[in-house]
Amino acid sequence: MTDRLRVLIVDDHAMVRSGFAMVLSVEDDVEVVGEAADGLQALEQARATRPDVVLMDVQMPRMDGIEATRLLVAEDLGRVVIVTTFDRDDYLFDALRAGASGFLLKNAGPEQLLDAVRAAGSGHALLAPEVTRRVISQMAGERKAAEAPTSGRAADRPEPPGLARLTAREREVLVLLGRGLSNGEIAGELVLGEATVKTHVSNVLAKLHLRDRVQAVVFAYEAGLILPTEG
């Protein structure tokens, strides 16, 4: 029983929580350990139940999902998967910066929900391609806006010190990670085996002290490694 993934469901709509719980509870490897209707309750429940994965809504009363994610990650109270309506929520990048490990659309099917929970529980990040594109676009726009007032260029900014620890190949891998490519896609792009790519990805994350691929996306864009047009 110790290998079951412990999941906390956070959403201010009881029907959403019940629906997720119904899907997850029938799985042998998943256990729903609690539910919460807002960020404050999420913190209380997480401290009491110590979940592996927290499914986190964004727009909630008292404390929203972004602030709750920041606090959960700071206390190491589980890996957070943001549950979003996508079209209405403008907080995806804020959630990444807060430490979210991935995103799940509220209209996702049961298999996608299970995939999200299992991916996060096993230490992998989950970022759907359509979400990646939106995040990339926002990051590129923010960087361009930040540079405009001083007419500075990305190339004029000093490189983050961690980049110097990467080999040329690892740097290539980081750029492709920043574009949201999977290991298989990176392997095809660089003509490498997937096992080799996996090793490079692990080395990049370790050298840059990044928790997962989602943080690699953030790092690549904040470091200016990718031009806005490349998103």
Q: List the CATH code of the domain at 131-225.
A: 1.10.10.10
Identify the CATH homologous superfamily for domain 5-126. Response regulator (3.40.50.2300)
Whether the model clears a pTM of 0.75, i.e. scores above it, the answer is no
pLDDT digits (tens, 9 = 90+) for 8-30: 999 999 999 999 999 999 999 99
At residue 184 the predicted structure's pLDDT band, cuts being 50, 70 and 90, is: confident
Rounded Cα distance between 166 and 24, Å, is 40
pLDDT at 161 (0 to 100): 72
Q: Which candidate, 212, 6, 181, 3, places its Cα nearest to that of 102?
A: 212
Most confident segment among 52-56, 86-90, 100-104, 145-149 = 52-56
Higher pLDDT, 179 or 194: 194
Q: Rg of the chain over CA atoms, in angstroms?
A: 18
- C-alpha pair distances (Å), 69 with each of 37, 80, 133, 135: 14, 7, 22, 17
pLDDT digits (tens, 9 = 90+) for 115-160: 888 888 877 666 665 666 666 666 656 655 555 555 444 445 567 7
Domains of the chain: which residue ranges? 5-126, 131-225
Q: Are 5-126 and 131-225 equal in CATH topology?
A: no
Higher pLDDT, 190 or 104: 190
Q: Which candidate, 28, 29, 66, 72, places its Cα nearest to that of 54?
A: 72
Amino acid of residue 224? G
What is the percentage of the chain residues whose pLDDT exceeds 90? 43
pLDDT at 222 (0 to 100): 78
Rounded Cα distance between 101 and 217, Å, is 11
pLDDT digits (tens, 9 = 90+) for 55-74: 999 889 999 999 999 999 99
The answer to whether residues 21 and 70 touch, using CB atoms and an 8 Å cutoff, is no
pLDDT at 151 (0 to 100): 44
